Amino acid sequence: MRKNEEQKKRRPLQERLGEKLPTTLADISHYAYFYKENAVVSKVLKCCRIIGRFGTMQILTLYYMLRAGEVTTREKLLLAGALGYFILPMDLIPDFVLPVVGFTDDLAVTTIVLKILSHRITPAIREKARLRAARIFED
């Protein structure tokens, strides 16, 4: 057994983290209950200055991926869960306590889901998110 434990420790960090992802992702999908399409757009418009262009584009990318419909049911749950987590003001770090710090966990969840589903991000989705962010930030 000792040798097996040593081999596990030597594996790349990403591989070791992958063993824990299903639990984390299942937790994220529970937030799908809070997802409402109009609430995402409304919260992005309210919070765009706080989360910045990059954060806004991440949220919009998730939003357009979910609307595109070219994802599996499991992936839809992840997308809706991440967006639901963003909408919900009471999460790990409440958004209203310290607004800048409060969105740190929201953007971390967004980044994780985008990384996992990066193979599903089409150029059209990227462009829609970019154009919408440009309109929001009035470029």
Cα angle value 70/74/77 (rounded, 5°):
90
80 Cβ contact list (under 8 Å, min separation 6)? 29, 31, 32, 35, 66
User: What confidence score (pLDDT) does residue 101 get?
Assistant: 74
How many domains is the chain partitioned into structurally? 1
User: What confidence score (pLDDT) does residue 19 get?
Assistant: 44
User: Is residue 11 domain-resident?
Assistant: no
Please provide residue 138's backbone torsions phi and psi, each rounded to the nearest 5 degrees.
Answer: 55, 55
**Contact of 113 with 82, CB cutoff 8 Å:** yes
User: Is residue 17 domain-resident?
Assistant: no
User: What confidence score (pLDDT) does residue 126 get?
Assistant: 96
User: Is residue 7 domain-resident?
Assistant: no
User: Is residue 110 domain-resident?
Assistant: yes
User: Is residue 78 domain-resident?
Assistant: yes
Give the range of the structural domain holding residue 92, as residue numbers without chain letter: 22-136
* Secondary structure of residue 95 in the 3-state scheme: coil
pTM of the model: 0.74
Ranges of residues in the chain with a pLDDT under 70 are: 1-27, 91-100, 139
Q: What is the dihedral of CA 31, 34, 37, 42, to 10 degrees?
A: -110
